[in-house]
Amino acid sequence: MLLKLAWRNLWRNKRRSLITMGSIVFAVLLSILMDSVKKGLLDKMKDNVVGFYTGYVQVHGQGYWEDKTLENSFEPASLVTEAISGNSQVTSAVPRLESFVLAASDNLSKGSMLVGIEPADETAVTGLNDKLVSGEYLNQGDQAVLLTEGLADYLRLGINDTLVIIGQGYHGVSAAGKFPIKGLIKFGSPDLNKGLIYLPLSTTQQLFGAENRLTSLVLQIRDNPKSRQVAQQLQANLSDEYEVMNWQAMLPELDQVIQGEEAENVIFQIVLYMLIAFGIFGTILMMTIERQYEFGVLLAIGMKRHILSGIVILENIFLALMGACMGILLSIPIVYYLYKVPIRLQGQLAEAYENFGIEPIFYFSVDAVVFYSQGVVVLLLALALAFYPMLKIWKLDPVKAMHA
């Protein structure tokens, strides 16, 4: 009976109910959009650097990460491959040989990172071929390079132009060569896009005089959040000649930025929830004042206060549930569209983002937790505020209420 009375009371005054429900729908929609874009930006920032370059776990020779020279490279032993293949979380390992070099054209030069890769393996793990914007992808044994678009623009080079590479090889040998540019790639991270060169691994080893040597093995794992545990397990199974690092250890600055942004997001959401709570409370306050005469009459004819309070709480539960569900359903197509078509910044604002090393695009996340978590929080806020009319009912004087 109480459920039926509460439901009928909602639609006895449709305008009031729709206003209350609308405030909850707007609150849920706004909180989901804000959380989606914040999570999307952080996830994309991590993927742009971690997913497309360092990977989530790497194996190096001991001391390599502190002193990135070819002298700290290693020849992968059977112990390493056995430890990697024996870990259920590791799905593949990509070999690399990296070193800083001077990249030059006719009149320009710039310090860059040369990365020797197995083209097919690199594509399987980091999807490097998807970053190709012009030209062709590398094949095994090619005597050609892939150049990042930002570096190509700086050196004023294009497809089929010749890139000169000058560096120092293994044990101090001279490393110099000329290679045609086979393709241009573009990363989401402006910093990565300004100074990376890719060359087939065998060609890189010949250039540096480092036959069969690697500077790192980039590991692809099943669950990226478990990168720390995977690194610890592998390190325990390897000798002290090797170091195993997860992305937080390799990129502490990026980890701190992400943690700072997440903390800032929590503070921002608290402020947002406060604004949402005031908005919902305003509609509930309006509803309570409008219904004082009704409450007074019901109490005067003998309705118990706890029954009337229960009916009002049920009304607010119905409104909060319907508002939260409608807000979630309304947000799904909007967020999905923005996920497929992210917002690209233009002009000076885009330049400002790039100067800070941030891709000038607002990405959105479609993670399920974004939808149900925000809906649940706003629903709980609405239900908590629903106790206000209950308190007013317990303190209400029926005679004064009917004469108000």
Does 189 fall in a domain?
yes
Encoding tokens for residue 103? Answer: 């990249």
Whether 8 shows a pLDDT value over 80: the answer reads no
Output the pTM of the full model.
0.68
The tokens 């979630």 sit on which residue?
A: 328
Report DSSP state, residue 362: E
Whether 38 shows a pLDDT value over 80: the answer reads yes
Does 192 fall in a domain?
yes
Same domain, 346 and 378: yes
Tell me the mean pLDDT in the region 112-124.
89
User: Looking at residue 171, what is its pLDDT?
Assistant: 87
Tell me the mean pLDDT in the region 296-316.
79
Same domain, 123 and 266: no
Same domain, 113 and 217: yes
Beta strands in 207-273 (DSSP E): 216-221, 242-246
Alpha carbon separation from 292 to 17, 299, 398 (Å, rounded) = 16, 11, 9
Which is more confidently placed, 94 or 279? 94
Tens of pLDDT along 225-255? 888 888 888 888 888 888 999 888 888 887 8
Encoding tokens for residue 382? Answer: 């609405």
The structural domain count of the chain equals 2
Encoding tokens for residue 332? Answer: 């799904």
Encoding tokens for residue 172? Answer: 């101090």
Percent of the chain that is helix, strand, coil (3-state, to 5): 60, 20, 20
> From its phi and psi, is residue 209 left (phi > 0), alpha (psi between -120 and 50) or beta?
left
Does 296 fall in a domain?
yes
Task: Report the alpha-carbon distance of residue 194 to residue 148 in Å, rounded.
Answer: 6
Same domain, 103 and 198: yes
User: Looking at residue 79, what is its pLDDT?
Assistant: 66
Tell me the mean pLDDT in the region 313-329.
83
Which is more confidently placed, 286 or 67? 67
Alpha-carbon dihedral 55, 60, 65, 70, rounded to 10 degrees:
-120
Domain around 39: 2-49+255-403
Same domain, 151 and 259: no
Tell me the mean pLDDT in the region 353-372.
76
Task: Among 239, 267, 286, give the residue marking a domain's end.
Answer: 239
**Residue 207 CB contacts under 8 Å (≥ 6 apart), including other chains:** 165, 167, 169, 175, 177, 199
Whether 164 shows a pLDDT value over 90: the answer reads yes
Q: pLDDT over 70 for what percent of the chain?
A: 95
Does 187 fall in a domain?
yes
Give me the amino acid identity at 263: A
Same domain, 34 and 158: no
Tell me the mean pLDDT in the region 152-164.
93
Does 249 fall in a domain?
no
Same domain, 82 and 230: yes
The pLDDT confidence band at residue 279, using thresholds 50, 70 and 90, is: confident
Same domain, 302 and 232: no
Alpha carbon separation from 4 to 1, 9, 11, 218 (Å, rounded) = 5, 9, 11, 62
Does 96 fall in a domain?
yes
Same domain, 152 and 41: no
Encoding tokens for residue 78? Answer: 């059977």
Backbone angles phi, psi at 77, to 5 degrees: -90, 165
Alpha carbon separation from 101 to 55, 160, 343 (Å, rounded) = 22, 20, 36
Same domain, 211 and 172: yes
User: Looking at residue 348, what is its pLDDT?
Assistant: 73
Does 210 fall in a domain?
yes
The pLDDT confidence band at residue 154, using thresholds 50, 70 and 90, is: very high
Does 212 fall in a domain?
yes
**Residue 290 CB contacts under 8 Å (≥ 6 apart), including other chains:** 13, 16
Number of other CB atoms surrounding residue 313 within 10 Å: 18
Same domain, 94 and 123: yes
Mean residue pLDDT across the chain = 83
Give me the amino acid identity at 60: H
User: Looking at residue 352, what is its pLDDT?
Assistant: 65
Same domain, 22 and 98: no
Which is more confidently placed, 61 or 126? 61
User: Looking at residue 162, what is its pLDDT?
Assistant: 94
Which is more confidently placed, 357 or 380? 380
The pLDDT confidence band at residue 182, using thresholds 50, 70 and 90, is: very high
